[in-house]
A and B are shown apart, each in its own frame.
Chain A
Amino acid sequence: MEGVYAFCVGVMTACGIFLTLRGRTFPVVVGLTLLSYAVNLFLFASGRLKLEAAAVLGMSDSYGDPLPQALVLTAIVIGFAMTAFAVILAMRARADLGNDHVDGRIPKTPVEQRQKSGGQR
């Protein structure tokens, strides 16, 4: 089970990283979301995997490690706030700059494109 779990975390990390390396805002935000899933699973697993062992007293014989769970719980909520901030920033950037590039390129505005093609004609 641990091997499969580790494989899944690895795949999610790789996919998340690949998407954060794209040149537009939206794939980056999606990549960050995917990455934060992976990070949460990673942190959670540092308390080791246990079945039928919820950290509620009196419900089971042994208990899972509650500390990573508490950390991950807040991480999930903060992660949401971060994703929201990133995506709103992306929208704001598009509103103010007129494009959704994060690769440092400044695309030509439609007016400039028209002027260029007009010059060729």
Chain B
Amino acid sequence: MNTLLCIPLLVLIGTIVPLCSARYSRTACAFLTAAMPALALFLVLELAPAILGGERFTTSIPWVPSIGLELAFRLDGLALLFSFLILGIGLLIILYARYYLSEKDNIGKFFSYLILFMFAMLGVVMSDNLIQIWVFWELTSISSFLLISFWGHKSDARKGARMALTITGAGGLFLLAGLLILGNVVGSFDLQTVLDSGDMIRAHALYPVIVVLILIGAFTKSAQFPFHFWLPNAMAAPTPVSAYLHSATMVKAGIFLMARFYPSLAGTELWFLIVSLTGLATFLLGGYLALFQHDLKGLLANSTISHLGLITLLLGMGSDLALVAAIFHIINHATFKASLFMAAGIIDHESGSRDMRQLNGLWKYMPYTATLAMVAASAMAGVPLLNGFLSKEMFFTETLHQGSLGSLSWMVPVLATLGGVLSVAYSTRFIHDVFFNGEPINLPKTPHEPPRYMRVPVEVLVALCLLVGILPSLIVGDLLYSASFAALNSPVPDYSLSIWHGFNLPLLMSFIAFFGGLLVYYNRQHLYKFQAQFPSNDPKLVFERSIQALVTWCKWFIGVFENGSLQRYTYFVLSFAIIVSAYPLLDLDTTAGQRPEIPLDALSITGAVLLTIGSLATVVWHRRRMVALLTLSVVGLIVSLAFAKFSAPDLALTQLSVEVVTIILLMLALFFLPQKTPKESSPRRVVRDLGISAMIGGIIGTVIYAIMTRPLDTISTFFTENSKTGGGGTNVVNVILVDFRGFDTLGEITVLGIAALGIFKLISRMRLYMPSSDDGGRPWSSDRHPLMLSVVSQSLLPLALLVSAYIFLRGHNMPGGGFIAGLITSVAIIQQYVAHGVDWIKDRLKLDYQIMIGSGIGIAALTGLGSWFFGESFLTSWFDYFYLPVIGKFELASAMLFDLGVFLTVVGATMLILANLGQLTTSERPVHEEDA
């Protein structure tokens, strides 16, 4: 198995480990959980030297190649960088969470969610297929939802989780649309093909649509304005989650996506405008909001928004060097922000509060943690000798070099410096408010240093901040180069990663930002007063309100369309059907076609008149239900005669026997239903319904007339020609049923069986009262089984069964077959029920109809499977002719076995329905003996 596939797979296996090991101590659980990601990290490290040397690993397992579905992974510089972040910081988070979570928390569940997220995130960065990227993308949203709502007993955790899922999930749908269009434009969902066809994509007419859709996906995930508000609300998650998902990894997924598709999508005016302006707005807004937060994590969350905006702005500038700076800042932000979150978590954990109005002067209580946090915060502010300084310097340089806003381009460096000022101001606030500024006020606990190993992850990350800040090219030079190379998909321009570039404009900007920030912080009270004038506008409330409004609207909509009235639904459907079917008929010039009509004869006219009268009488008398049933049966009879007349003997036989069964069924049902329908429809409703039905009747009549009078180009010649030679039967209809289209028939008898079983279950718990008299108050006759009827029907039974057997056997060559024979047998048995009653039959006829249905479908299916033994495909038929003395020549065909299955299913289904329904009218009613 190849290494590339193992990396995500190991992490996937890792999701189960914590669940299994949670019963041991929390330390053991944490160590076991860390094992799989550590192994995966080891594999990544093994591949790293080659990738840093410029190689790219890919692997793919095809799934449905015709529509571009595959399991494809790749590991290039960009994916390598993100894999390091995901796995490396992930391992530190596991260690940290071991100490952060209390005894009460379900640590196994937490770790399992965390590793699931790790898997999803690895999948996003390592995917080599557009669709696959999206699948993992949504998986990160879902695992993030689970992690934010980990403390599900808290209302804000639930609300924050729901908001995050709504925003990022909805964004994911936009992304899917964008990726699908992109894949269609390129003609492939393979990532490398997409990256290589940038010019073609940019020239395509759909380019703006693709860019906007994909960017909405990226912006929602990376909390860009105006979708930024979900991130501060996601801070209800446990702090390890905030440090991992909402600063280092998941919120970078949007950034990753923009960097990934940089070669295919970037480089146009549209991209520049959307991305850079959104980034700039987010950069400033996040910085400004961060300044006014009292919650420690709220400050960090808003500063994360601001820094994500900074990276987005860099990606939007359109110069290759800006992309390098963006990737550099991704690394730096991940290290200092994760360590700051962890420090904030330690402070929260050891002092019991996150409110900066209470937290003051902690330096005295936890000097060690304070030092670490201060170093990280300085990196965030962009203090020299720390990593944040370097990338911010590159950022300032790039703002000076871009010119895409024309004569307004000077604004970008000025606003960037303003953002830098805000960044320094809130970093200073973090340091000064928490660690100095007097004494703590009303803290729930006396603060103290955390356990030794809880600090280790912070130490590692802060050490990285320092190392990168002092020795940038040694520590991250190669990684940055290969990531930039992969993201650009072209050679990387020259850049210098040193701490000192001489006295120049960017240094001046840093200088202004630094002292400006200190000045802003010093005058913060004025700012707070100014800010206090605004009415507070909590995005959470706005969001909840809009969700409520949506729910109310949906309820109203459903109330209108789904009011429980079948009449209304039917009305909607039919009106729509009229529009859809009438419209094309307008284009038809003449109703009648070229085909000559068959001349009329008296018999047909009589039939047509009877049929029309029967149908109309059913409508006119429909409130007297029994009468309507009788007129209905007249219609059914004429229909079966029509089949006989127009050369369809099989249909005539089927219709006739089904007619008998249907009418008996409806009569039985009517016994339990009201005998009359009260007059309820208003005259207006009657007119409306008459109008609709006349319209549809007219349309259907027109359509069928137009069809019948036009010549037919049939495909049935194939069946007629091959029926005898290929199927061994002269009755083409039957051969089609059991041979040519045998698979359809198998499906149909299965449906029949399912319907019968469904009816059986509906009947079996039915509690209906037994009417003792009919509608007119006359009591039902107690003489249930007239002698004449029982004697005659008893003697008719063998005859009927003989006819049925005959019809069955000749079915392949003459009109007949399993369906018809089954129905005739059913009618014969039903007659016995009618004549003798259920009790009498029960003693004499021990048939289990459910088993009958099962064996019928089983025989039909096995007949089909049988052909596999002869190396043929499913349901291939076989037939041959044999000679026997006395009987003579006869034919054996596998299709007959299939027809037997059909026969058994039809008998079983019909009898299961009717016998059980009939049973309800007798003392055999299943009242107490319910076995379900």
Chain A residues in contact with chain B, CB under 8 A? 1-30, 33-34, 37-38, 40-42, 44-60, 63-67, 69-70, 72-74, 76-85, 87-92, 94-96, 100, 102-105
B656-683 interface (Cβ within 8 A of A): 658, 661-662, 665-666, 669-670, 672-674, 677, 680-681
User: What 6 pairs across the A-B complex have the smallest Cβ distances?
Assistant: A10-B701, A14-B697, A104-B565, A6-B705, A104-B564, A17-B693
**CB proximity of A102 to chain B, nearest CB, Å:** 4
What is the bound-complex CA distance between A71 and B422, given in angstroms? 76
Can you spell out 6 A-B residue pairs with CB atoms less than 8 angstroms apart?
A2-B709, A6-B704, A11-B616, A23-B681, A37-B636, A88-B763
Instruction: Tell whether A92 pairs with B766 under 8 Å between CB atoms, given A5-B704, A17-B693, A81-B751.
Output: yes
Check B766 against A54 for contact (C-beta < 8 Å): no
Q: Is the interface of A mostly helix, strand, loop or mixed?
A: helix
Check A44 against B643 for contact (C-beta < 8 Å): yes
Check B732 against A66 for contact (C-beta < 8 Å): yes
What per-residue 1/0 map shows which CB atoms of B486-519 lie under 8 Å from chain A? 0000000000000000000000000000000000
Check B732 against A15 for contact (C-beta < 8 Å): no
In the complex, besides A15-B616, A64-B648, A94-B768, 19 extra interface pairs with C-beta distance below 8 angstroms are A1-B600, A2-B598, A4-B600, A5-B704, A13-B696, A13-B701, A22-B567, A26-B669, A42-B700, A45-B704, A45-B707, A50-B647, A54-B648, A57-B720, A69-B733, A70-B737, A74-B737, A95-B768, A103-B566
Nearest to A4 among chain B residues (CB) is B608
Check A88 against B759 for contact (C-beta < 8 Å): yes
Which of chain B's residues have a CB closer than 8 A to the CB of A56?
649, 730-732, 813-815
Instruction: Tell whether A66 pairs with B716 under 8 Å between CB atoms, given A2-B708, A104-B565.
Output: yes
Check A37 against B635 for contact (C-beta < 8 Å): yes
Instruction: Tell whether A57 pairs with B673 under 8 Å between CB atoms, given A34-B635, A76-B654, A88-B759.
Output: no
Check A82 against B730 for contact (C-beta < 8 Å): no
Which of chain B's residues have a CB closer than 8 A to the CB of A50?
646-647
**CB proximity of A4 to chain B, nearest CB, Å:** 5
Tell me if B209 is interfacial: C-beta within 8 Å of chain A.
Answer: no
Which residue, of A44, A54, A55, has the highest number of chain B Cβ atoms within 10 A?
A: A55
Which of chain A's residues have a CB closer than 8 A to the CB of B700?
9-10, 13, 38, 42
What is the bound-complex CA distance between A65 and B651, given in angstroms? 13
Instruction: Tell whether A69 pairs with B681 under 8 Å between CB atoms, given A9-B700, A104-B565.
Output: no
Check B737 against A49 for contact (C-beta < 8 Å): no
Check A49 against B815 for contact (C-beta < 8 Å): no
What is the bound-complex CA distance between A88 and B654, given in angstroms? 22
Nearest to A21 among chain B residues (CB) is B689
Instruction: Tell whether A11 pairs with B564 under 8 Å between CB atoms, given A5-B704, A21-B692, A91-B673.
Output: no
What is the bound-complex CA distance between A34 and B634, given in angstroms? 11
**CB < 8 Å neighbour of A55 from B570, B680, B724, B733:** B733
What is the bound-complex CA distance between A85 and B651, given in angstroms? 22
What is the bound-complex CA distance between A7 and B613, given in angstroms? 12
Check B759 against A84 for contact (C-beta < 8 Å): yes
What per-residue 1/0 map shows which CB atoms of B695-719 lie under 8 Å from chain A? 0111011101101110010111001
Tell me if B571 is interfacial: C-beta within 8 Å of chain A.
Answer: yes
Which of chain B's residues have a CB closer than 8 A to the CB of A51?
598, 645-647
Tell me if B876 is interfacial: C-beta within 8 Å of chain A.
Answer: no
Check B755 against A76 for contact (C-beta < 8 Å): no
Check A10 against B646 for contact (C-beta < 8 Å): no
**CB < 8 Å neighbour of A65 from B600, B639, B642, B716:** B716
Check B604 against A4 for contact (C-beta < 8 Å): yes
Which residue, of B642, B674, B741, B910, has the highest number of chain A Cβ atoms within 10 A?
A: B642
Give the A-B pair count, Cβ closer than 8 A. 316
B25-83 interface (Cβ within 8 A of A): none
**CB < 8 Å neighbour of B917 from A5, A67, A88, A90:** A88
From B433-441, B453-461, B532-540, B622-630, give the one contacting chain A: B622-630
Tell me if B782 is interfacial: C-beta within 8 Å of chain A.
Answer: no
Nearest to B754 among chain A residues (CB) is A81
Tell me if B762 is interfacial: C-beta within 8 Å of chain A.
Answer: yes
Check A95 against B767 for contact (C-beta < 8 Å): yes
Nearest to B645 among chain A residues (CB) is A51
Check B568 against A77 for contact (C-beta < 8 Å): no
Tell me if B612 is interfacial: C-beta within 8 Å of chain A.
Answer: yes
Check B643 against A91 for contact (C-beta < 8 Å): no
Tell me if B196 is interfacial: C-beta within 8 Å of chain A.
Answer: no
Tell me if B756 is interfacial: C-beta within 8 Å of chain A.
Answer: yes
Check A41 against B615 for contact (C-beta < 8 Å): no
Check A91 against B680 for contact (C-beta < 8 Å): no
Which of chain A's residues have a CB closer than 8 A to the CB of B646?
44, 49-51, 64
**CB < 8 Å neighbour of B618 from A34, A95, A105:** A34
Instruction: Tell whether A76 pairs with B628 under 8 Å between CB atoms, given A20-B570, A27-B622.
Output: no
Instruction: Tell whether A76 pairs with B565 under 8 Å between CB atoms, given A47-B712, A70-B737, A88-B759.
Output: no
Which of chain B's residues have a CB closer than 8 A to the CB of A41?
639, 642
Tell me if B348 is interfacial: C-beta within 8 Å of chain A.
Answer: no
Nearest to A50 among chain B residues (CB) is B647
What is the bound-complex CA distance between A82 and B655, given in angstroms? 15
Check A15 against B615 for contact (C-beta < 8 Å): yes
**CB proximity of B431 to chain A, nearest CB, Å:** 67
Instruction: Tell whether A58 pairs with B730 under 8 Å between CB atoms, given A13-B696, A15-B618, A67-B736.
Output: yes
What is the bound-complex CA distance between A109 and B697, given in angstroms? 38
Which of chain B's residues have a CB closer than 8 A to the CB of A80?
658, 661-662, 910
Check A17 against B696 for contact (C-beta < 8 Å): yes
**CB proximity of B567 to chain A, nearest CB, Å:** 5
Tell me if B181 is interfacial: C-beta within 8 Å of chain A.
Answer: no
Which residue, of A15, A25, A77, A85, has the highest number of chain B Cβ atoms within 10 A?
A: A77
Which residue, of B595, B616, B669, B762, has the highest number of chain A Cβ atoms within 10 A?
A: B669
What is the bound-complex CA distance between A26 and B242, given in angstroms? 62
Check A49 against B708 for contact (C-beta < 8 Å): yes
Check A103 against B704 for contact (C-beta < 8 Å): no
Nearest to B644 among chain A residues (CB) is A54
What is the bound-complex CA distance between A102 and B186, given in angstroms? 53
**CB proximity of B606 to chain A, nearest CB, Å:** 11
Which of chain A's residues have a CB closer than 8 A to the CB of B752?
77-78, 81
**CB < 8 Å neighbour of A19 from B618, B665, B758:** B618
Instruction: Tell whether A4 pairs with B704 under 8 Å between CB atoms, given A23-B680, A64-B646, A88-B917.
Output: no
What is the bound-complex CA distance between A52 and B320, given in angstroms? 83
Which of chain A's residues have a CB closer than 8 A to the CB of B270?
none
What is the bound-complex CA distance between A12 and B518, given in angstroms? 88
Tell me if B164 is interfacial: C-beta within 8 Å of chain A.
Answer: no
**CB proximity of A109 to chain B, nearest CB, Å:** 14
Instruction: Tell whether A8 pairs with B732 under 8 Å between CB atoms, given A3-B597, A51-B598, A74-B745.
Output: no
**CB proximity of A15 to chain B, nearest CB, Å:** 4
**CB proximity of A113 to chain B, nearest CB, Å:** 14
What is the bound-complex CA distance between A69 and B625, given in angstroms? 32
Which of chain A's residues have a CB closer than 8 A to the CB of B563?
104
Which of chain A's residues have a CB closer than 8 A to the CB of B101?
none
Check B731 against A55 for contact (C-beta < 8 Å): yes
What is the bound-complex CA distance between A67 and B740, given in angstroms? 10
Which of chain B's residues have a CB closer than 8 A to the CB of A53?
647
Check A42 against B704 for contact (C-beta < 8 Å): yes
Which of chain A's residues have a CB closer than 8 A to the CB of B708?
2, 5-6, 45, 48-49
Check A2 against B697 for contact (C-beta < 8 Å): no
Tell me if B619 is interfacial: C-beta within 8 Å of chain A.
Answer: yes
What is the bound-complex CA distance between A6 and B608, given in angstroms? 10
Check A17 against B702 for contact (C-beta < 8 Å): no
Which residue, of A46, A80, A89, has the highest number of chain B Cβ atoms within 10 A?
A: A80
**CB proximity of B721 to chain A, nearest CB, Å:** 10
Which of chain B's residues have a CB closer than 8 A to the CB of A57?
720, 723-724, 730-732
Instruction: Tell whether A67 pairs with B615 under 8 Å between CB atoms, given A51-B598, A80-B662.
Output: no
**CB proximity of B931 to chain A, nearest CB, Å:** 18
**CB proximity of A28 to chain B, nearest CB, Å:** 7
Instruction: Tell whether A46 pairs with B707 under 8 Å between CB atoms, given A7-B701, A11-B697, A69-B650.
Output: yes
B357-390 interface (Cβ within 8 A of A): none
What is the bound-complex CA distance between A22 and B685, given in angstroms? 10
**CB < 8 Å neighbour of B625 from A26, A42, A46, A64:** A26
